[in-house]
Structures are given as C-alpha cells and as structure tokens.
Amino acid sequence: MPFTEFITLVHATDSTFPSLSSFYRTWWTRQSSRSAYPFTFYTDVTMPNIVYLISGWHSSEEYTEWCNSEDRRRLIQALPDVVAISRNVLLNMGFDTIPRAARGLICVSVVTVDATEAGDGDGVWAFSGMERSLGVRWTGCGEDVRSPSTLYRFTMYDVDVTEESILGRYQRDAVILMRRVGVPAANDG
C-alpha cells in the first residue's frame, strides 16, 4: 500500500527556506533516489519559518529501509542547528492522489477520533455549503500509521481563493495553511 510522508520543519526566525538551499537540495536528491515519488516542498502561509516536506513511499518496508539507511543518517546529522523537525508522520494516503501540477493553497487539518465514537467517521469532516463555495479543487484524508486515531485532511483550494477566506472558516490555530514551492536554487552567496 502506498503511503504519504508529511514532515514539518521549524526554522529559527533568522533562517529562511532559500537560505538553506544547499541542505534542502541534498535532502531532495537523497530521498528522491530512494523513493519512486517526487519530494515536494511547501511553506507555511502564516508562519514563514515553517517548511513542510511531502513525499510518497510504495510500502512501509521501502520507508523503513530509507529510515535505516546511511544516507538518511548522514542527512539528519547534517540538519542545520537552525532547523528542527517538529513532526514526521507516515499517512495511509497515496501520494499520487495529491495534485502536483495544480497551484493553490492547501489547508491541512488534524483530528483525533475517539475509538468509542459511533459510526464510521464520515461526519468528522463533512463539507458544508460554505466550504464548497470557496472552490475546493481536491481533498484527501489519511490516518497516521503510527497513531491510527489521528486523521490528516488535506484540502487544496482554487488558485483564486485567498488566505483570509480559508482561515475565516477555521480556527487559526487548528489548521496548517501552506503553499507549494519549488526545490530551492543553489545559493551562490
């Protein structure tokens, strides 16, 4: 079963995604050589010191092999002091379901479902008329493989939907709002 890896990196306030281009290009190269899926970067819209890395894996065995590899160990050891990994989850959501060519803001919400809740959970994130009116391009959901009661919902909005209109529908501290960015160019200075 294919999986999606979702990593959150927090930069010290004086460092930026482009300023660490060499490190991120190395990570992109090393992980992409192990996974058949592309390695994608996103920046947080409301907190520019946060970067999200999303990639896919064909199986948990392939992911475990990467996690135990010398390449990954060297990569983690080379993690700049100004960057901390605050989250690294593996989701049972196929990476290929995420539209890679589409541009627009992606909202990520996280919910923990109590095992005693009745039903199959269909009502956890039912779309309301307000959400439909925003222009949702795609939505996908996956559970955290290590914590199956934790669900991650990704919603991509049309390119003309504004940050304010999305955040107006959610509690600001309850969602992640991110934008896709390219692999950082080599930093010559």
**CA quadruple 62, 91, 17, 188: dihedral, nearest 10:** 20
- Note if the pTM is more than 0.85: yes
Confidence of residue 187 (pLDDT cuts 50, 70, 90): low
Task: List pLDDT tens digits, range 156-185.
Answer: 999 999 999 888 887 767 789 999 988 767
pLDDT the model gives residue 72: 94
Q: What is the DSSP letter of 162?
A: -
| pLDDT above 70 (res 67) | yes
Query: Where would I find the H helices in the chain?
Result: 21-34, 60-67, 70-77, 129-133, 163-167
Per DSSP, what are the bridge partners of residue 11?
Answer: 83
Query: Stretch 28-42: mean pLDDT, rounded?
Result: 90
pLDDT the model gives residue 51: 93
CA distance 140 to 134: 16
